[in-house]
């Protein structure tokens, strides 16, 4: 254990300074990601139906889907730094506008705009990290990136739950302010990263690569299956938790538990998991993610939900850093933003479809939804192990 700790410290010290600046900006942004995890509760308390709330979450996914393509292209065309800053500043404006929306159509439109503007930084951030860090160090780098992401996630929802108890308006303002902070950090302290000539920065070349790269196609398909499970956390999961008389603050605390566990343990988990083949490691993680959500079918109390979240989170810690590094290693440098954009497409598609499908299953039978999540985890594991 001591040797693992010393090895981890050495690997973290070897990461370049701009990587740590990227981690800081990511923490600032994710600490303030208040609105989307609470959007279903916000809308249902405003008198909208569960179906309308799910539609709004799906609209965010549509925006996210567009953002994956836009962000991948811009990351390779104008540089990683400019793409991150543009996303953060435009996302802050969209979030303020969303805070003033009162009709269903306005909320849906502005939620989609928020998903597009606030999320197209992701391919640029992931590509910049791959630019900065050589292949042998990328699992540790992406684990540290996720640590920053989840450190913000650990404290943000708990803070959001407190703010929501007083006024949902402050969720929107806090979200916008932290986006602006990340934009300033990006402009002041991050490098441009790799940029491609205009004739090499389009999507045609990347889509040709997808058709020819079976490994990339396999991980994208597995990621889609597991992302459908993930996005129940910001839709049906909250409704399920409060249906047993637990408060919105408890829901926020359960989300924060996920972030706290990642912050405390993921880097140490990666020192162990990176000894094994990447695809096998991802398969184990995917199976645990599905199992954790399947356990929600039998949970009734806060400790039981916390146990399910712990299983889910250990699966996440095992699979996610390896999958990001795996995509980065597959991607040519001049197409790295678009490869990360393709990875983002799968998650955005799941965000479009997942909440609505989850709501439909939940309305029929909650146990059916959570057991289906378990099945999707096993499906993702099978896909990533498939050799043909």
Q: What is the pLDDT along the chain (388 residues), one digit of tens a residue?
A: 555 555 778 888 889 999 999 998 888 887 767 677 778 777 888 888 878 887 888 788 788 889 988 888 898 888 899 999 999 999 999 989 998 888 999 999 999 999 899 888 989 999 999 999 988 788 889 989 988 887 776 677 667 777 776 777 777 888 888 899 999 999 999 987 766 666 655 667 767 766 777 888 889 999 999 999 998 987 889 889 988 988 878 888 898 788 788 888 888 898 888 888 889 999 999 999 999 999 999 999 999 999 999 999 999 999 999 998 898 888 887 788 888 888 888 888 887 788 888 988 998 999 999 999 999 999 999 999 986 5
pLDDT confidence of residue 201: 54
**Gyration radius of the chain over CA positions:** 19
Packed helices 122-132 and 138-166: angle between N→C axes, nearest 10 degrees: 150
User: Nearest-CA neighbor of 336 among 131, 136, 139?
Assistant: 131
Q: How many CB atoms lie within 10 A of CB 6?
A: 10
Q: Output the six-digit token pair for 43.
A: 């809308």
> Do the beta carbons of residue 369 and residue 236 sit within 8 Å?
yes
The answer to whether the CB of 295 falls within 8 A of the CB of 311 is: yes
For residue 36, give the H/E element and its range: none
Q: Distances in Å between the alpha carbon of 70 and those of 117, 122, 132, 134, 374?
A: 10, 10, 22, 26, 32
The pLDDT of residue 228 = 94
The CATH H-level superfamily of 17-385 is MFS general substrate transporter like domains (1.20.1250.20)
Angle of helix 50-77 relative to helix 104-119, nearest 10 degrees?
Answer: 30
Phi first, then psi: give them for residue 299, nearest 5 degrees: -80, 145
pLDDT of residue 195: 67
* pLDDT reported for residue 41: 77
| Pairwise CA distance, residues 263 & 209, whole Å | 35
Q: Pick from 256, 25, 275: which is nearest to 140 by CA?
A: 275
SS3 312: helix
The pLDDT value recorded for residue 343 is: 87
Rounded to the nearest 10 degrees, the angle between the axes of helix 50-77 and helix 336-364 is 170
For the chain, domain boundaries: 17-385
What pLDDT shows up at residue 264? 86
* CA distances, 326 to each of 257, 263, 279 (Å): 27, 21, 9
The pTM (predicted TM-score) of the whole model is 0.79
Rounded Cα–Cα distance for residues 304 and 317 (Å): 20
């Amino acid at each position: 254990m001591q040797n693992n700790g010393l090895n981890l410290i050495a690997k973290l010290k070897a990461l370049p300074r701009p990587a740590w600046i990227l981690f800081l900006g990511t923490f600032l942004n994710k600490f303030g990601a208040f609105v989307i995890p609470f959007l279903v509760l916000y809308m249902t308390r405003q008198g909208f139906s569960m179906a309308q709330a799910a539609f709004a979450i799906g609209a965010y996914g549509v925006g996210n889907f567009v953002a994956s393509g836009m962000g991948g292209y811009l990351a390779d065309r104008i540089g990683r730094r400019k793409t991150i800053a543009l996303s953060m500043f435009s996302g802050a404006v969209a979030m303020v506008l969303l805070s003033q929306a009162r009709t269903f159509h306005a909320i849906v439109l502005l939620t989609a705009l928020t998903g597009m503007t606030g999320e197209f930084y992701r391919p640029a951030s992931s590509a910049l990290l791959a630019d900065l860090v050589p292949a042998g160090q990328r699992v540790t780098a992406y684990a540290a990136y996720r640590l920053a992401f989840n450190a913000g996630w650990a404290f943000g929802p708990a803070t959001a739950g407190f703010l929501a108890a007083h006024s949902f308006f402050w969720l929107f303002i806090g979200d916008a302010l932290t986006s602006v902070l990340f934009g300033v950090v990006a402009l002041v302290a991050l490098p441009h990263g790799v940029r491609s000539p205009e004739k090499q920065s389009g999507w045609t070349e990347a889509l040709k690569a997808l058709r020819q790269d079976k490994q990339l196609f396999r991980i994208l398909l597995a990621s889609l299956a597991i992302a459908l499970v993930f996005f129940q956390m910001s839709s049906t999961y909250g409704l399920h938790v409060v249906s047993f008389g637990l408060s919105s603050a408890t829901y926020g605390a359960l989300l924060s538990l996920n972030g706290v566990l990642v912050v405390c343990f993921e880097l140490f988990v990666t020192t162990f998991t990176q000894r094994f083949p990447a695809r096998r490691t991802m398969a184990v993680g995917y199976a645990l993610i599905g199992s954790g959500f399947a356990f929600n079918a039998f949970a009734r109390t806060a400790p039981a939900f916390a146990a399910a979240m712990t299983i889910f989170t250990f699966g996440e810690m095992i699979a996610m850093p390896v999958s990001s590094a795996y995509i980065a290693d597959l991607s040519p440098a001049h197409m790295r933003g678009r490869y990360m954009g393709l990875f983002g497409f799968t998650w955005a598609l799941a965000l479009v479809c997942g909440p609505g499908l989850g709501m439909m299953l939940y309305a029929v039978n909650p146990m059916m939804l959570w057991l289906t999540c378990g099945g999707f985890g096993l499906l993702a594991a099978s896909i990533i192990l498939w050799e043909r």
